[in-house]
């Protein structure tokens, strides 16, 4: 009995460590968010369920690298929307993202994607400088990306449509509020382009939830062969 | 102290919750904000709420662009002008250093507050106009089907 009692603190410590940093052993999965279509099969077999995905995108990051949905094939990513001159919530939001990055940045199955909503101002050098000021200047898996690397006149329209699409991919239309582009939400997207979680970066409990749920998604990705994200 | 094994799980869960949550001290515990900090907070809150409205500007712009009619052009122009005013404010805004004289900081934030209030009125007016136009001229997809 004494031995069992002596084991209790280490058991509790192990549980703590596992719950905060590692995927649970059982196959717990995060829900796939958003609308789904049930499509009957021509052969009369069980109907296929098709889940909403983030739309096709084409971005350029701080290194001048072109990013599409395919760039994230086989990897999950955490997405947010910011701009370099934002004096409001962006600094706090990016500080929270940095916290997540410091904990999970070494994971090969994970990337970070911060979209600027000020493409006219946030050129590639500005984005590179922003990453450097954040202390992640050499990070290759945290992309600070723009829809307007070549002065596209509709770059701002495109990024706002993309932001809205992340939300509508995550929530049924009737529930989708506006303002996703600047409300401090992080979206967790899986290796197949499904939104698996939305987190309010301004709420520490929500960021903690992301820290707990991320390993669950990474374990799911590890359990299957790399999928192909939608292009 | 004796701990029965059946009590271990609840204890562990309490410890887990404590360990997984991060400390988030309210401002009050760190001392009351100064007049300058309070003025800055008010300004930032207005900025953040206006930025959230920017998505609506672009939703209306996309909707109005689909009309393909000259009548929608002034409304699109109004929305873009409001957006430009906001971005201009953002790019010119330079928060004074916290080591600056408190009175100077307060004066700056109040001056910026007035400018931002003007941008806010511009947002409201253009959004209201765009909403009225789209309500009075529903796009084809918005027209409810005629009852038989």
**Upper half-sphere CA count for residue B43 (Cβ side, 13 Å):** 25
A36-39 and A142-145 strand pairing = unpaired
What does the DSSP 8-state code read for residue B67?
T
| Residue numbers in B near A120 (CB within 8 A) | 87
What are the E-state strand segments in chain B? none
Rounded distance, CA B101 to CA B36, Å?
10
Q: Coil, helix or strand for A140?
A: coil
Q: Which residue matches tokens 């450097």?
A: A132
Is residue A221 pLDDT above 80, yes or no?
yes
Assign residue B95 a region: left if phi > 0, alpha if psi is -120 to 50, beta otherwise? beta
Chain B interface includes A129 (CB < 8 A): no
How would residue A152 be classed by pLDDT, with cut points 50, 70 and 90? very high
* Pairwise CB contact (< 8 Å): A212 & B91: no
Rounded distance, CA A3 to CA A152, Å?
69
Chain B interface includes A51 (CB < 8 A): no
Dihedral angle computed from the Cα positions of residues B141, B143, B144 and B148, in that order, rounded to the nearest 10 degrees: -110
* H, E, C per residue of A215-227: HHHHHHHHCCCCC
* Assigned CATH for A29-222: 3.40.30.10
Mean pLDDT calculated for residue range A119-143 = 96
Is residue A174 pLDDT above 60, yes or no?
no
Is residue A114 pLDDT above 90, yes or no?
yes
B57-75 residues labelled b (16+ CB within 10 A) or e (exposed): bbbbbebbeebeeeebeeb
Of the partner residues A8, A15, A182, the one whose CB lies closest to the CB of residue B3: A8
Mean pLDDT calculated for residue range A84-108 = 91
How would residue B16 be classed by pLDDT, with cut points 50, 70 and 90? very low
Neighbour tally for A9: CB within 10 Å: 13
Q: Spell out the residues 6+ positions from residue A93 whose beta carbon is closer than 8 angstroms to its own.
A: A80, A82, A184, A201, A202
Is residue B31 pLDDT above 80, yes or no?
no
| Residue numbers in A near B20 (CB within 8 A) | 19-20, 208, 211-212
Dihedral angle computed from the Cα positions of residues B114, B120, B125 and B126, in that order, rounded to the nearest 10 degrees: 130
* Pairwise CB contact (< 8 Å): B20 & A207: no
Q: Please name the residue of chain B whose CA is at the shortest distance from the CA of residue A12.
A: B12
Neighbour tally for A224: CB within 10 Å: 10
Which comes out higher in pLDDT, residue B3 or A65?
A65
In a mutagenesis test of the A interface, which of B4, B44, B52, B94 is the best target, namely the one with the most A β-carbons within 10 Å? B52
Is residue B136 pLDDT above 80, yes or no?
yes
pLDDT at B43: 94
Å from A202 to nearest chain B CA?
11
> Are the beta carbons of A168 and A176 closer than 8 angstroms?
yes
Among residues A52, A55, A122, A111, the alpha carbon closest in space to that of A82 is found at A122
How would residue A34 be classed by pLDDT, with cut points 50, 70 and 90? confident
| Residue numbers in B near A121 (CB within 8 A) | 87, 91
In A, residues 9-48, which contact B (CB 8 Å cutoff)?
A: 11-12, 15-16, 19-20
pLDDT at A40: 83
* Pairwise CB contact (< 8 Å): B44 & A180: no
């Amino acid at each position: 009995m004494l031995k069992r009692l002596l084991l209790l603190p280490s058991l509790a410590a192990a549980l703590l460590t596992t719950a905060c940093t590692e995927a649970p052993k059982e196959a717990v999965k995060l829900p796939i968010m958003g609308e789904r279509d049930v499509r009957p099969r021509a052969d009369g077999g069980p109907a296929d369920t098709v889940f909403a995905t983030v739309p096709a995108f084409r971005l350029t990051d701080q290194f001048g690298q072109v990013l599409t949905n395919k760039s994230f094939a086989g990897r999950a990513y955490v997405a947010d929307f910011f701009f370099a001159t934002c004096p409001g919530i962006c600094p706090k939001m990016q500080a929270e993202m940095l916290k997540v990055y410091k904990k999970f940045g070494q994971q090969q199955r994970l990337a970070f994607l911060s979209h600027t909503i000020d493409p006219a101002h946030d050129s590639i050098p500005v984005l590179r400088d922003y990453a450097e000021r954040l202390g992640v200047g050499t990070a290759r898996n945290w992309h600070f990306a723009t829809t307007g690397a070549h002065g596209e006149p509709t770059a701002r329209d495109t990024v706002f449509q993309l932001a809205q699409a992340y939300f509508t991919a995550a929530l049924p239309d009737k529930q989708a509020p506006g303002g996703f582009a600047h409300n401090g939400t992080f979206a967790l997207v899986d290796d197949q382009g499904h939104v698996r979680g939305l987190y309010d970066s301004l709420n520490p409990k929500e960021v903690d939830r992301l820290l707990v749920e991320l390993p669950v998604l990474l374990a799911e990705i590890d359990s299957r062969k790399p999928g192909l994200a939608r292009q | 102290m004796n701990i029965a094994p059946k009590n271990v799980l609840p204890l562990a869960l309490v410890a887990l919750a404590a360990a997984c949550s991060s400390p988030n001290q309210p401002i009050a515990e760190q001392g009351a904000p100064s007049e300058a900090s309070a003025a800055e907070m008010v300004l930032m809150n207005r900025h953040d709420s206006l930025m959230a409205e920017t998505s609506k500007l672009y939703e209306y712009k996309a909707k109005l662009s689909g009309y393909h009619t000259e009548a929608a052009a002034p409304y699109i122009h109004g929305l873009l002008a409001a957006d430009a005013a906001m971005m201009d404010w953002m790019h010119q805004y330079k928060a004074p250093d916290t080591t600056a004289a408190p009175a100077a900081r307060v004066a700056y934030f109040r001056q910026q507050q007035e400018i931002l209030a003007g941008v806010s009125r511009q947002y409201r007016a253009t959004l209201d106009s765009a909403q009225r136009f789209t309500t009075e001229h529903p796009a084809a997809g918005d027209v409810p089907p005629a009852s038989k």
